[in-house]
A and B are shown apart, each in its own frame.
Chain A
Amino acid sequence: GEDVEQSLFLSVREGDSSVINCTYTDSSSTYLYWYKQEPGAGLQLLTYIFSNMDMKQDQRLTVLLNKKDKHLSLRIADTQTGDSAIYFCAEGNLNQAGTALIFGKGTTLSVSS
């Protein structure tokens, strides 16, 4: 079945780059998403990429997609303490009407000053 996997923790120093990785299994996934969840809050969409793209850049965020390996990554440049949160990777499928997002279990990013 469909599955999305992420490493559970990442610790970086302020000012460094963070790279959060994700693998997915559904080759028919059309959209891949990165969400951020801060303590006590819901999920906030950070960015998304269509499956026919290799890369998308949005200010400090860079998403890389390797469709052959079903690998997605999120790079945060110049990581700040305010970036500390849980980051979720999710896949969405165009071919199955009404299919909801399948989420990974989240990567907790800890940024130290």
Chain B
Amino acid sequence: KAGVTQTPRYLIKTRGQQVTLSCSPISGHRSVSWYQQTPGQGLQFLFEYFSETQRNKGNFPGRFSGRQFSNSRSEMNVSTLELGDSALYLCASSLGLAGINEQFFGPGTRLTVL
């Protein structure tokens, strides 16, 4: 069974641009969660999607948004990029809701904002 895949693996953008990251969950998984990982703040929850609905959202500005498609694939978008958005963005999928089901993580997308 294929694991969670994330594309692209690496991305370099400049301030003010926008970016879209993609996540393909494990086949059959309906929940996709997104996390931001930085050296200073550690792993912070961005949002969770389950059956195309956003179920929960972390404490991030509205520049961060996401969506989930009917095949459970998910995208997250960051608009008007800031230097502080440089981070590893991790996607995780689970059969059911995150927090009460085992989450499987992808390798992440490393975003660098110049």
Residues of A within 8 A of B (CB): 30-31, 35, 40-45, 48, 88, 92-94, 96-106
Is A92 a contact of B42 with CB atoms below 8 Å?
no
Q: Are B98 and A43 in contact (CB under 8 A)?
A: no
Whether A98 contacts B55 in the complex (CB less than 8 A), given A42-B4, A42-B90, comes out as: yes
How far apart are B106's CB and chain A's nearest CB, in angstroms?
5
Asked whether A103 lies within 8 Å of B99 as measured between CB atoms, the reply is no
- Chain A residues with Cβ below 8 Å from B108 are 41-42
- From A48, A99, A104, name the one whose CB has the most chain B CB atoms within 10 angstroms: A99
* Interface membership of B100, Cβ < 8 A: yes
Residues in chain A near residue B79, CB distance under 8 A: none
Cβ-closest chain B residue relative to A101: B99
Please report the C-alpha to C-alpha distance between residue A96 and residue B55 in the assembled complex, in whole angstroms: 10
Q: A89 CB to closest chain B CB, in angstroms? A: 11
